[in-house]
Structure 1
C-alpha cells in the first residue's frame, strides 16, 4: 500500500511543480492533469478527477486520470448529485468509505460509480479562504477510508493548484480570472475532440490517445490545447503524431 512516507521525494516534486504555476503564462490544463497524476502516484487511490466551476457557476469536468473516472464525473454532474457537488457547495471535504452504503444519499450516483468499479470516494474542495472554484475527487476500487495523512496530502495538492489558478486574481481583474477559468474549460472540449481524432485514426483507446497528446506536448514544449487544435484541424499532424516515440502503444498506430 502506498503511504506518505514512501513518497516524500515525489511529494516534494509535486509541490515544487505546482508552486511553479505562480509565474506568468503557465498552462492551466497541464497543471490540472498533473494534479490528478500526482494524486494517483502519491495516494492509495485508483483514480482521480477534477471539476471546475465555469463563469455561470456550473461544474465541468476538466481532468481525470482514467476514462472510468471521467465517466463517473460526467454522470455525477448530469445526475446533479454526488459527493463532488456537495464538496463544492459546502467547501468541506466529503468522505465516502463505502459507496454501496450511500445509495440513500446519492442513489443514482452511488449505483453508477459502483458499476464503474469504484466503491469509495473522497471529494476535496478546491478552496482558498471563502472562494471555492471546484473539487478534487479521489476514487478507490476497494472500500475503506483514506488515512488522515493521505487526506491532508490530497488537500495540500488541491490547495496548491487552487492558489496557482487564483493567483491571477491578485494581479489582474476578476473578469480576467473568469476568462482564464473559462478558457481552461473550453480547452478541455478541444482536447476531448483531439483524443477522438487520434482514436478514430488508430487502434488507441481514449486513455492512450490522451497520453500521446500529453507526452508530445510536454516533450516539444507545446501547450496541450494548441497541439490538440492542430490535430483537429490537420489530419497530417494526427498521422505524424501516431508515428512518434510519444505513442504509448506504437503497435496500434493506424487502423
Structure 2
C-alpha cells in the first residue's frame, strides 16, 4: 500500500516537472520544489542542488532548508565534500557515514560541519546528461539509515529530470551546453537570497519561513521568483502586499 502511494506520488511529481518545461520557465522555483520532493520521496532529512557556472565553479542554487544551504556553501568555500567530488568525477557517492573518519578522510572540514549541523549520513548524485555533468544533488540524513538501491536509482532519476529542466529541450541535441540558462539562474539566486534575508528581518522570522511566504505569493500570481525579487531589491514593489508568515513577530512589517 505504501509502495503504491509512493509510485502514485512519483508519477504526479514527474507530471509536475513536465508541466514546468515551458519556454522561459522558473528554473529556481523548479529546483527548490525538486529538493523538497527528494526529501518527501526518499525519506531523507534535507537536499541541496549545486550547479556549475560559466567559469567552471560550483554554486549552490537550491536547498530544502537554510541549514543545508549554509552547509553546501561551507563545502564550496572549502572546496571539499562528496558533492564537489561527485561533480568532478561524474560518479555517485552514496551511504557515506559522516561519523567515520575512514569514509570522510578526504573532506574532514566538511564532515565536521555536517555533523555539527546534525547530519549522520550523506549522498551525492550527479546532475548529468549523457557525458555532461552540470552539478550535483546532495542528500542528507540525521540518522544512520541507508538508502537502498531502488532509492538511489530514484534519486538519480530525479537528478536527471533536474538536468533536463536546466538545459531545456532546445539544448539537448547540441554538442555543447549553452551557459545562458545556468548564468541566469545563478544571477537570480543572488537576488532571491537578498530578498529572503530582507523579508526574514522585516518579519522577524526564519529565513525558511520568509522564503516560503515569498514563493507562495509569487506562485499564486504566476510570477517568476527572480522577477519579483528584482522588483523588491530595486524598491519597485511594496512587500506589505506579501502576507507575513503566521510566525511573524508582533510589530513586524513589510515595506
Q: RMSD of the TM alignment (CA)?
A: 2.0
Q: Tell me the secondary structure at the aligned position of residue 203 of structure 2.
A: coil
Query: Deviation at 1:171?
Result: 7.2
Kept in 1: contact 2:231–2:237 (CA 8 A): no
- In structure 2, the residue matched to 1:179 is 180
Query: Deviation at 1:20?
Result: 2.7
- In structure 2, the residue matched to 1:165 is 166
Structure 1 residues 124 and 253: alpha-carbon distance in aligned structure 2, compared to 1, 3 A threshold:
farther
Structure 2 length as normaliser, TM-score?
0.91
Query: Deviation at 1:235?
Result: 7.7
Q: Which moved more, 1:17-26 or 1:207-216?
A: 17-26
- In structure 1, the residue matched to 2:32 is 33
Flag structure 1 segments of 5+ consecutive residues without an equivalent: none
Structure 1 residues 209 and 235: alpha-carbon distance in aligned structure 2, compared to 1, 3 A threshold:
farther
Instruction: Number of aligned residue pairs: give it.
Output: 248
Q: 1:249 pairs with 246, 249, 252, which one?
A: 246
Kept in 2: contact 1:197–1:231 (CA 8 A): no
Kept in 2: contact 1:201–1:254 (CA 8 A): no
- In structure 2, the residue matched to 1:92 is 91
Structure 1 length as normaliser, TM-score?
0.91
Q: Tell me the secondary structure at the aligned position of residue 29 of structure 2.
A: helix
- In structure 1, the residue matched to 2:222 is 221
Query: Deviation at 1:240?
Result: 2.3
Kept in 2: contact 1:204–1:249 (CA 8 A): no
Deviations 1:146-176 (A, max 9, x none): 111111111111101111222231478957x
- In structure 2, the residue matched to 1:126 is 127
- In structure 2, the residue matched to 1:75 is 74
Query: Deviation at 1:250?
Result: 5.6
Q: Which moved more, 1:157-166 or 1:74-83?
A: 157-166
Kept in 1: contact 2:126–2:159 (CA 8 A): yes
Q: In 2, Cα distance between the equivalents of 1:129 and 1:84?
A: 19
Query: Deviation at 1:16?
Result: 1.1
Q: In 2, Cα distance between the equivalents of 1:115 and 1:219?
A: 37
